[in-house]
Amino acid sequence: MNKTVLTAIIVVIAMLGFTYAAVELAGGVDKLIKDGDLVNILAIIGAVIIVTVTSFVVTKYVRQMQNDKVSGTLSEESWGGIREYNNELPMGWAVAFLGTILFFIWYLLIGFPVNSYSQIGEYNEAAKKYDQKFVEQFKNADEKTLIEMGEASFMVNCAPCHGLQADGMDGKSADLHQRISEKSVKHVILNGSNNNILGTGMMMPDRNGLVNMTTSAPITDAEIDAVAKYVAGNLKGSVGADVFAGTCASCHGADGKGLDMVGPNIAEMSPALVDMVLHSGKKGAIGQMPAFKNFNDVQYKALDAYVSSLSKK
Ligand code: HEC
Ligand code: HEC
């Protein structure tokens, strides 16, 4: 018998022997059948088929390489003495080549963007479903629960910038225990503000747009200093109170607690304000507060409750 065929038969027998040994180690075929272990039974059948077919195919080609004689005409070109035969393109190759082009066009236009499965998509769906369950469970949570929840979320999402104590880490971001600092009020008056704090896109004009309603005069540097102290001091005291009444109250209300659609609350940190800052972000004297878009309703409510509770005395 031919040596190649003999080798193939030995390899097949050895491989089948290994397969058998592996199955015996796992408890034997009887056990698999008794357990109804369909997946492993199919795997064994597959293994036997693959071993046998591979050996046949390999043997066929090895023999062909041993026995085939070249035929056909040589091409004109010669690369340093090496020349190629002018073989016809095998039909299978041509079909496969055209097939990949057609598949590419189909995949690009139809297969990929539409109806395609993605792991990220599946994860997002699962997270969304879980979020809904969470929102449902806590939608009527009381204030205490929300504040606790908000504190936990704050430690993860906000503390890296605002500090564990939410005191702004020496001015690197806003101190959340007070509504606003003197520096920030001045910055807003000098530069205006456009942070969508009201949710209406209403902007705060800069100093050129601010006029004292009682005296009709533009705001002076001394007045800016005074009113900034007044606002940062929770609108208490007399210094700056007249400037506030004349220049700011028309938009922010006489008590600074804001007027609907006109000016935001600048007297205290309210849940509504924190909520807007979380949704829109905020750019001010210190820098840029990023917007957070991926919390669910309960998480927003919890953070709003926690942050606004910090400034309550
Ligand atoms: C024409 C109406 C108007 C007037 C007058 C006005 N403001 Fe404002 N102010 C706004 C609006 C609107 C915003 C919100 C801007 C935003 O979304 O960023 C705002 C924002 C602010 C903020 C920022 C709040 C924050 O959370 O960042 C401060 C502080 C402030 N105003 C102080 C003042 C002071 C002090 C005066 C008077 C000198 C004044 N404003 C006059 C309309 C006004
Ligand atoms: C990348 C850093 C960073 C992170 C993270 C961050 N903040 Fe801020 N935050 C800032 C900065 C900077 C400011 C000040 C913006 C300015 O200059 O007025 C600010 C301002 C604020 C304000 C406005 C305070 C005021 O009186 O105007 C609130 C409210 C706030 N952050 C809440 C949060 C909450 C809640 C989180 C977590 C979900 C958070 N921040 C996460 C940087 C951050």
User: What is residue 101's predicted lDDT score, i.e. its pLDDT?
Assistant: 97
Q: How far does the centroid of ligand 2 lie from the alpha carbon of residue 289, in Å?
A: 5
Could you tell me the two tokens for 305?
């409750």
Which residues in the chain land under pLDDT 70? Answer: 1, 113-116, 313
User: What is residue 92's predicted lDDT score, i.e. its pLDDT?
Assistant: 94
pLDDT, tens digit, for every residue of 113-135?
656 678 888 999 999 999 999 99
User: What is residue 249's predicted lDDT score, i.e. its pLDDT?
Assistant: 95
- CB-based contact 210:247 (threshold 8 Å): yes
Q: How far does the centroid of ligand 2 lie from the alpha carbon of residue 298, in Å?
A: 19
Measured from CB, residues less than 6 Å from any atom of ligand 1 are 180, 185, 188-189, 193-198, 202-205, 210, 227, 231, 247-248, 250-252, 263-264, 266, 284
pLDDT, tens digit, for every residue of 237-249?
889 999 999 999 9
- Nearest-ligand number for the alpha carbon of 211: 1
User: What is residue 257's predicted lDDT score, i.e. its pLDDT?
Assistant: 93
Contacts 24+ apart (CB under 8 A), 140-144: 141/298, 141/301, 141/302, 143/305
The residue whose CA has the least distance to atom 9 of ligand 1 is 204
Q: How far does the centroid of ligand 2 lie from the alpha carbon of residue 189, in Å?
A: 20
Rounded Cα distance, 285 and 173, in Å: 9
User: What is residue 113's predicted lDDT score, i.e. its pLDDT?
Assistant: 66
Rounded Cα distance, 265 and 166, in Å: 20
- Dihedral of CA atoms 292, 234, 187, 311 in degrees, nearest 10, equals -20
User: What is residue 154's predicted lDDT score, i.e. its pLDDT?
Assistant: 97
- Nearest-ligand number for the alpha carbon of 282: 2
- CB-based contact 154:306 (threshold 8 Å): yes
User: What is residue 43's predicted lDDT score, i.e. its pLDDT?
Assistant: 87
